[in-house]
Structure 1
């Protein structure tokens, strides 16, 4: 009996290894190792803390992933998050109801996203420079206005308390909200015409523009949506810790978010990946940070390790998704 010479090639195609599957496997291995060798890792308190931290990181990464799929980047997310929520809390201290304050803070966040999107889509400023400058403006304006590092939300706000300590079918409310948001964005990208426009713009902005797609409105809308997602992450954080620390802007959180996105497998070349990649990357980074914290790694050591992993992920992305001449000339980050 003769063997079909194409059989090995077909088998290799069926057993295709992706970055997403590799990251998922590493996450599982790390979880098992930490469970065996770290005494406090499998405790209920630690697992709850891990899930709640993952909810904040994953929510921010969902917004960043939404931007990166369209071949952009948004360094304003943490600034918008802390200033938007701080503004809402400040309004509540000036006599506004907390619900009203949250809505007005949302309008501020939408304005920030709109300005950022216009700078990128209309003024043609590269996203990395536009968002870096905008982040400094937003944070600096917030610092001048509030003149305080930490602002605490009013006590006895039922829905905010539920976000911090409530559960949905036994799952922490913040995790359930993150899961619902991730599902909504995934559906939005995969099913709607706007989602297809985002992928097309990320794949090749010049071709998308030539085909008559509304690339500028798409870009502007992306940054507005990302700003609102960052605001939701800020509300989740406020529910968990009863306030917001504006100095969080000076932390490495934005780089953790980028690490999640790139590590999960969303290419910086645009037009590829989705929310599933964000979830995989969030799980790995969440487990890694939690394990390093239990091992009592210093803040500097943790940042060094995460930076090395980010560099490795960027190098891997460059190898897996090389940019040809046509791609490199269109829509550079």
Structure 2
């Protein structure tokens, strides 16, 4: 796809366009890393975008009303973490299916945030008091946009976490076969809670990059297709929805593929609505392919047993 667009689309290979492409998908890639950790544990988090938007919008509002920057960031991060912990507890201990638990939590976070935290506006603008943190989304380091560098750094951290830490390996084990993981002594319920908590932290970080890049946080993004783009990145990259299979490389591949696709469609002046139709069809095809490649039947459910 990259080669075809390079050959047939004017200015696709221009340096400014490549940097714009990478900057545009950096936040999606970071959210994809958070979703990766959840999906590896055989879950899904539909509240990621709501958590991101409301926690960061509240942080911006707190700074604008006189709260010190450090405290505001800590409060916003704490809110995102608590909401994710609640999702994890509902899934791990109340045994509510992840799809319904996170869908309900996303609706709650958005409704509660609009009603009690950031009342009276859809868009919260970046205050002048945001200081050094305002350069997170706008700055460049050796000509490379800071969001791209941060996305690479997040990818490296998640890779090291999954490959070299005990909780990272336990997430794989839980996703591969929860019953076998429990029998071998892995604390399954705490691991489930942990993966959603990590997702909440990643969501806040992605939101902070978004807000500083565009100088605002639009809470209406919760009602957009962004969460489906995140799922598309994960599934299209090759992460199995049946859990236990996938890594950071899959998210990087999915992120770049979607970035190239959307950038190419934009240059071709394809209508935004039609772009969503195309992405939806690709997502559907990827899920169908995943169901054949990684079937969730009784036989594969025993794959972790001795």
The whole-number CA distance in structure 1 between the counterparts of 2:302 and 2:163 is: 27
Question: Which position in structure 2 is the counterpart of 1:122?
Answer: 93
1:56 aligns with 2:24: no
The whole-number CA distance in structure 2 between the counterparts of 1:126 and 1:157 is: 39
The whole-number CA distance in structure 2 between the counterparts of 1:128 and 1:226 is: 15
Aligned counterpart in structure 2 of residue 220 of structure 1, from 193, 214, 227:
193
Question: Which position in structure 2 is the counterpart of 1:135?
Answer: 106
Q: 1:109-188 maps to which residues of 2 (within 5 A)?
A: 109-145=80-116, 146=118, 147-155=120-128, 157-188=130-161
Question: Which position in structure 1 is the counterpart of 2:50?
Answer: 79
Aligned counterpart in structure 2 of residue 39 of structure 1, from 3, 7, 10:
10
Q: 1:87-106 maps to which residues of 2 (within 5 A)?
A: 87-106=58-77
Contact preservation (8 Å) 2:177, 2:302: no
Number of residue-to-residue matches in the alignment: 301
Greater Cα radius of gyration, structure 1 or 2: 1
Offset of residue 127 of structure 1: 0.2
Q: Which secondary structure does the structure 2 equivalent of 1:164 belong to?
A: coil
1:200 aligns with 2:173: yes
Q: Which secondary structure does the structure 2 equivalent of 1:200 belong to?
A: helix
1:294 aligns with 2:267: yes
Question: Which position in structure 1 is the counterpart of 2:231?
Answer: 258
Question: Which position in structure 1 is the counterpart of 2:285?
Answer: 312
- Relative to 1, partners in 2 of residues 1:253 and 1:52: Cα closer, same or farther, differing over 3 Å? same
The whole-number CA distance in structure 2 between the counterparts of 1:44 and 1:169 is: 14
Q: Which secondary structure does the structure 2 equivalent of 1:151 belong to?
A: strand
Offset of residue 158 of structure 1: 4.2
Offset of residue 66 of structure 1: 0.8
- Larger mean Cα displacement after TM superposition, 105-114 or 317-326: 317-326
CA RMSD of aligned residues (A): 1.5
Offset of residue 291 of structure 1: 1.1
Question: Which position in structure 2 is the counterpart of 1:12?
Answer: none
Q: Which secondary structure does the structure 1 equivalent of 2:137 belong to?
A: helix
Offset of residue 327 of structure 1: 4.6
- Larger mean Cα displacement after TM superposition, 42-51 or 186-195: 42-51
Offset of residue 239 of structure 1: 1.5
Offset of residue 161 of structure 1: 3.4
The whole-number CA distance in structure 1 between the counterparts of 2:20 and 2:122 is: 24
Q: TM-score, normalised by structure 2?
A: 0.95
Q: TM-score, normalised by structure 1?
A: 0.87
Q: Which secondary structure does the structure 2 equivalent of 1:244 belong to?
A: strand
1:271 aligns with 2:244: yes
Q: Which secondary structure does the structure 2 equivalent of 1:216 belong to?
A: helix
**Gaps (5+ residues) in structure 1?**
1-29
Q: Which secondary structure does the structure 1 equivalent of 2:29 belong to?
A: helix
Offset of residue 270 of structure 1: 0.5
- Relative to 1, partners in 2 of residues 1:90 and 1:157: Cα closer, same or farther, differing over 3 Å? closer
